[in-house]
A = this chain, B = another copy of it.
Amino acid sequence: MLIGLVAVGSELLTPYYQDTDSLFITQRLNDLGLEPSFKIVVGDEPENLKMILQICLDKADLTFVVGGLGPTEDDRTKETLAEVLQRKLIFHPEILARIEERFERRGMKMPESNRRQAYILEGAEILPNKVGTAPGQWIEFDNKKIILLPGPPRELQPMFNEFVVPKLEAWRKGYLYRRIIKITGLTESQVEDKIKDLYPHSRDLRVTVLAYPGQIEIHLLSLAEKESLAKEKLDPLLEALTQRLGDNIFSTTGEELEAIVGQLLRQSGQTLAVAESCTGGLVGHRLTSIPGSSTYFLEGAVVYSNEAKIRTLNVPAELIQQYGAVSSEVAKILAENIRLKSGASLGLSITGIAGPGGGSEIKPVGLVFTGLSWNSGTEVVRNLFLGGREQIKFQSSQKALDMLRRHLLKKIAGDKNENFHCN
């Protein structure tokens, strides 16, 4: 079965916009064991739109057409399809009433232009829009299906889930099970070297590796006749990958590193303060992007200038003079002093050269020291990151959070062992 996805909108043919609705629809199709065969983006001009709709009718069994159902003059999807199919547009008073009601509820009068949205292709099934004015339409023609959907994701997504997915059940090719493994501390090629012999050679069990600076993701996808079978098929692969990659994996369920670190801090009852130089506040920003982070994140000090390091965190001026602000020695004292000053149980520090300026032969751009201090010790790591300023900042924050994660994992394991010994 050939499935086509069409996104309609002249703005999608500019350099500024991307069609993202197709990613959502693809995910839902994948859930049913289905995949799009092609995706097309076309503008609002009826001539090109007509050509594309005709191509889809010729080639695809199932076509999703998204966008161009609005009330304005440049929204022509419905009219163009009516022309291609040589069908009439039928006025539906009950749709008009619903649209008028929507405006009334907000104390507004419906603009005359919205009346157009009450017209539906002859023979089409209406897909109600609970959060907007443009209804969707399910159209059958010569054993082919064309589904018209509104473009705004907040209208499209609930409509698709509630009214389209049940109708697609008839074509379900299986049940899908998905897991996302996230890794830090290894490069893409290191990950591939460790796991490439595990790659399955099957369309029903797939591995996709996505690499970002400081983070590798492995997306696993399994398809089977039953949900439980899909999981059964994927689990041994997940297990094998987990064994190979060990504690470089920080999540097998898709969470970000800052969320995992937050869970571990909660679990171990520890609190955290952060001293940041080159990251400028990014670690604090990431930690506080997690709702409820105020239970474990106490304070951050963005000690960007040398004076700030000296005044705010009592870094001895001589230390900076002797070793430089970007040094293991300064990272160590930053981590220790932010911990002591804040009263947190853990102190994290970052000092480095994010570039593009400020590097030297001995201390190049990308040189970053990350430190962690706890009640009985301090650890400092020397890192050399590649990439532009933003990438170096992100990798620095990732490394610092990962040091914290590994420390907390050890601590939690240690506590368990202790309890074990005690009991």
Q: How many angstroms between the C-alpha atoms of A279 and B307 in the bound complex?
A: 24
Q: Pick the contact of A299 from B16, B279, B312, B393 — CB < 8 Å?
A: B312
- Interfacial residues, chain A to chain B (CB-CB below 8 A): 2, 11-16, 18, 20, 23-24, 26-27, 30, 35-43, 48, 51-52, 55, 59, 208, 210, 219, 274, 276, 278-285, 287-289, 291-294, 297-305, 307-308, 311-312, 341-343, 354-357, 389-390, 393
Chain B positions within 8 Å of A355 at CB level: 291
Given contacts A298-B307, A300-B300, contact A16 B281 (CB under 8 A): no
Is there contact, CB below 8 Å, between A343 and B307?
yes
A393-B289 CB under 8 A given contacts A51-B59, A299-B303: yes
Q: Are A280 and B291 in contact (CB under 8 A)?
A: no
Decide: A302 near B280, CB < 8 A? Known: A15-B23, A39-B40, A389-B289: no
Complex CA distance for A46 and B104, rounded to whole angstroms: 54
Q: Chain B nearest CB: distance from A397 CB in Å?
A: 9
Q: A390, B289: Cβ atoms under 8 Å?
A: yes
A300 touching B288, Cβ below 8 Å:
no
Distance A290 CA – B40 CA, assembled complex (angstroms): 38
| B298 adjacent to A301 (CB under 8 Å) | no
**Among the listed B289, B294, B305, B341, which residue makes an inter-chain contact with A298, where contact means beta carbons less than 8 Å apart?**
B305
Task: Contact check, A297 vs B287: say whether CB atoms are below 8 A apart.
Answer: no
Task: From the candidates B14, B35, B281, B343, name the one contacting A302 in the complex (CB within 8 A).
Answer: B281
Are A305 and B312 CB-contacts (below 8 A) given A23-B15, A30-B15, A285-B280? no
Closest Cβ–Cβ distance, residue A13 to chain B (whole Å): 5
| Complex alpha-carbon distance, A299 and B276, angstroms | 10
Docked-complex contact B308 and A298, CB < 8 angstroms:
yes
Residue of B nearest to A17 (CB): B210
Copies, count? 2
- Which 4 pairs, one residue from A and one from B, show the smallest C-beta to C-beta distance? A280-B288, A281-B284, A281-B281, A300-B302
A299 CB to closest chain B CB, in angstroms? 4
- A280: which of B14, B37, B300, B305 is its contact (CB, 8 Å)? B300
Q: B285 touching A279 by the CB < 8 A rule?
A: yes
Q: CB-nearest residue of chain B relative to A343?
A: B307
Known: A297-B304, A307-B343. 8 other contacts (CB 8 A): A13-B35, A38-B40, A39-B41, A280-B300, A288-B393, A291-B355, A298-B305, A302-B302
Which of B52, B308, B354, B356 is within 8 Å of A38, CB to CB?
B52
A–B pairs, 6, beta carbons within 8 Å: A16-B219, A37-B42, A37-B43, A280-B287, A281-B302, A285-B285
CB of A48 within 8 A of CB of B42, answer no
The answer to whether A11 and B208 have CB atoms under 8 Å apart is yes
Residues B280 and A304 in contact, CB atoms below 8 Å apart? no
Name the B residues within 8 Å of A283 (CB-CB): 281
Residues on B with C-beta less than 8 A from A279 are 285, 288
Q: How far is the CA of A16 from the CA of B22 in the complex (A)?
A: 11
